[in-house]
Amino acid sequence: MIPPICIENLTPCVDGGRFPAKRIVGDTCVVEADIFRDGADVLRAQLRWHRERETAVYSAPMTPLSNDRWRGEFPLAEPATYFFTIEAWTDPFASWLSALRRWVEGNEDVTSEIQAGLRLLRDTLEKAPGDDQAPLRAAVERLEAAGADGDAALAVVSQPEVLALMERLGPRTDPVTRRLELAVQADRPLAACGAWYEMFPRSQGTVPGQAATLRDAEARLPAIRDLGFDVVYLPPVHPIGTTHRKGRDNALLAGPDDPGSPWAIGGPAGGHMAVEPALGTLADFDRFVEVARRLGLEVALDFAIQCSPDHPWVREHPEWFYHRPDGSIQYAENPPKRYQDVYPLNFQCADAKALWAEMLRVLEFWIDHGVKIFRVDNPHTKPFPFWQWLIAQVRRRNPEVIFLGEAFTRPKIMKTLAKLGFTQSYTYFTWRNTKAELTEYLTELSQTEMKDYLRPNFFTNTPDILHEFLQRGGRPAFAMRLILAATLSPSYGIYSGFELCENEAVPDTEEYLHSEKYEIKVRDWNRPGNLNELIARVNHIRKENPALWRLDTVHFLPSDNGQVLFYAKRSADRSNVLLIAVNLDPLHAQESMVTVPLWEIGIRTGETYEVEDLLTGNRYTWGGRNFVRLAPDALPAHILRVERPHAP
């Protein structure tokens, strides 16, 4: 049977409550729902919530908006999964008061109605605790004294103290609690907003062909801090196999000095819970993490679930792998690519329970060594139930851990992985370069239901992806993509070499020529033409402007030129408003008139206002229609902060 009170269309709600919505610690979780019943009786509603595995249940009142829509909120005080539901009931006293007011306004006899109100007050008085009895008794006496005088009766029962007492202590009829609880996952702020820098520790040295150690790589950390990054992301640091080791440029045969791919994990020195001897020891890794922490950086570690033929698991647990008909273990393939140096694991093998448990043990090992962020390699090639189980197990003990899913695959798979628990997700940003593509994609990410569960991380490039736009656009293309990534998404990242505008590719591919995956690089990090100053400036702007900490406030604005993307970002309280114009053409200067809807930025029609370009410090007086000219060989963008209006 349908309940007497209907509670419908709750938000936030992901897939009907099957998965938690995502929020950030320090925010409030705003909940809305349609709550209604037949007739004109007055309803009350409250949120009820609790943390996972806690027995204490808390409540907060909900407020009616319009058209039977209600809103309430509760605080997200710490990283945890919170469960919430809604309780609603009919308020007989408020319903009586509403009817009494209408009778009085109609000059009708209200003698009977006043007697009904007295009955409600007396019944409440009988059950009231001691401290509340005196004011309720006084209300009863005053209402009795009003006799049949409707105006006098209204004056008595409309007192704020009486209303508050009756709302808290009065009768509740037809109470309904929504049976299905919904969930919200509260993560620490870095889960939603941060700048990532990916680097190979072995390439942080100064001697060509000689691998740097983790101790050597420490020397790069202050520079990365000074560039304004929050996270240093390392590819796998585990021992690298020698069997079928790949050589330079992905050659099938490695030379004697070729270091191999860090993703070919496992060798005589150990597997996923060991450190490649060329990098140093586990103690050196611990020191690296601690040095980074003192500099205000966090270390993210690649979690790649695959093995080289030399991994201890191959010998100890051959049943964990895929096998060919002849019984040999099958190496990884992604046609037309072959990875002879890598064995994938079979997560649905007969011994899957032990394999899953071993993956949890690996993560807990590195968590105990100070790693609280994992970039997960190719999660879309492992079963969904595995990820749902693994991430939930980690979060129960360590809710502060962040998982970034690297799944460049079909949209529905990427969405499902995010729903299953991945804190952040790689995206299609790399392949969205035109005005139409960026507008459509950002609108989908920020304005649809995706905003409740998928947090994008806009990496400009990766060791596997050098987009054609960067290959042909030179330094201006790198500057444009940096500004777009850093201002459109609260989380973004670059792979080292981006700041030097490295753009040599294998012809007709997105693969880097002389890929760092297979050889050691030595770079001059300050060579002419670098983007260090721009990167540091952009990251400083991100830290100083709350408008860039959120995804859902991006608003694309009219630009007369198809090569100029124009958009606004604002903080939650609208106190910080940015207007951003980016030239999308790396080869030519572009001019455009851009339109600012003044009401959107808190400016009255006819007023002018001052904007400061945070990239240059220049100031301009703007109105509703404004001219911009963006030259790629200079700064291809404006990041304008709205300062204050001028009187017309």
- Which residues constitute the domain of residue 67? 5-90+179-186
Confidence check: pLDDT of 132 > 80: yes
The burial of 508, by beta-carbon neighbours within 10 Å (0-12 exposed, 13-18 middle, 19 or more buried), is given as: exposed
Domain boundary among 523, 546, 569: 546
Indicate if 594 and 510 belong to the same structural domain. no
pLDDT of residue 2: 87
pLDDT digits (tens, 9 = 90+) for 60-101: 999 999 999 999 999 999 999 999 999 999 999 999 999 999
pLDDT of residue 35: 98
**349 domain-assigned:** no
- What does DSSP assign to residue 421? T
Indicate if 216 and 140 belong to the same structural domain. no
pLDDT of residue 648: 47
Rounded CA separation 22/27 (Å): 11
**137 domain-assigned:** yes
Average of pLDDT values for 444-456?
97
Indicate if 493 and 569 belong to the same structural domain. no
This prediction has a pTM of 0.94
pLDDT digits (tens, 9 = 90+) for 534-586: 999 999 999 999 999 999 999 999 999 999 999 999 998 899 999 999 999 99
pLDDT of residue 545: 98
Domain boundary among 323, 344, 365: 344
pLDDT of residue 385: 97
**Total number of domains in the chain:** 5
Rounded CA separation 115/126 (Å): 17
Indicate if 109 and 202 belong to the same structural domain. no
Active site residues per annotation: 377, 406
pLDDT of residue 644: 73
What's the whole-number average pLDDT of the chain? 96
Average of pLDDT values for 357-376?
98
- What is the rounded (10 degree) CA torsion for 455, 403, 580, 606? 40
Indicate if 526 and 460 belong to the same structural domain. yes
**191 domain-assigned:** no
Backbone angles phi, psi at 448, to 5 degrees: -100, -175
Indicate if 397 and 483 belong to the same structural domain. yes
pLDDT of residue 55: 92
pLDDT digits (tens, 9 = 90+) for 163-192: 999 999 999 999 999 989 999 999 999 999
Confidence check: pLDDT of 270 > 60: yes
For residue 53, count other CB atoms closer than 10 A to its CB.
8
Position with higher pLDDT, 2 vs 514: 514
Indicate if 399 and 494 belong to the same structural domain. yes
Indicate if 579 and 632 belong to the same structural domain. yes
pLDDT of residue 384: 98
**633 domain-assigned:** yes
Indicate if 284 and 299 belong to the same structural domain. yes
Indicate if 294 and 328 belong to the same structural domain. no
Indicate if 299 and 397 belong to the same structural domain. yes
3-state secondary structure of 505: strand
Band of pLDDT at residue 646, cut at 50, 70 and 90: low
pLDDT digits (tens, 9 = 90+) for 405-423: 999 999 999 999 999 999 9
Rounded CA separation 482/644 (Å): 28
- Chain centroid, CA 203 distance in Å: 30
Confidence check: pLDDT of 1 > 90: no
pLDDT digits (tens, 9 = 90+) for 322-338: 999 999 999 998 888 88
